[in-house]
Amino acid sequence: MSLAPFHLAFPVTDLAAARTFYGDVLGCPEGRSSDEWIDFDFYGHQIVAHLSPEREEAHHNPVDGHHVPVPHFGIVLDWEDFEALSERVRQAGVKFEIEPYLRFAGKPGEQKTMFFKDPSGNALEFKAFRNRETQLFAK
């Protein structure tokens, strides 16, 4: 099975803030856009920020001693890319919901992970495995 890019559409309350956050802070190139939506290249995947002034409150589930925001979306990065992005996000003054840390240390699925929200309150998770091929779905 080959890996195909995914497509995700999500609500934002301010397109200009989304453009700055996803484009400048996260480094996602912009694709097509209109007055009501913007396409971004999210690490080879298409995400679309749609203008929507109303937001639902996120819920949280306990995972490894942290309160993980639900819903959320994100991407699995290479170990070095995770480190670089976490530093770029920190330098941009983005508040972490869950600071970057090593989750499930010494167990199957050991990973670095971090959570933060975009300016519209959408929760994002970025994670990295030392060996993605063997650890991503390890039990």
pLDDT single digits (tens) 66-117: 888 888 899 999 999 999 999 999 999 999 999 999 998 888 888 999 999 9
The answer to whether residues 40 and 78 belong to one domain is: no
- Partnered with residue 113 across adjacent β-strands are 101, 127
Provide the number of structural domains found in the chain: 2
Q: Which domain holds residue 36?
A: 7-51
pLDDT digits (tens, 9 = 90+) for 29-66: 999 999 999 999 999 999 999 999 876 676 788 888 88
User: How far from chain centre, in Å, is Cα 77?
Assistant: 10
pLDDT given at position 11: 92
Alpha-carbon distances, residue 109 vs 82, 123, 132, 134, 139 (angstroms): 16, 21, 9, 9, 7
All residues at 6 or more sequence positions from 78 whose CB lies less than 8 Å from its CB, including other chains:
128, 132
Q: Is residue 2 part of a domain?
A: no
The answer to whether residues 29 and 81 belong to one domain is: no
* Local structure of 22: helix, strand or coil: helix
- Assign residue 41 the CATH number of its domain: 3.30.720
The CA-based angle 25-31-36, given to 5 degrees, is 90
State pTM to two decimals. Answer: 0.87
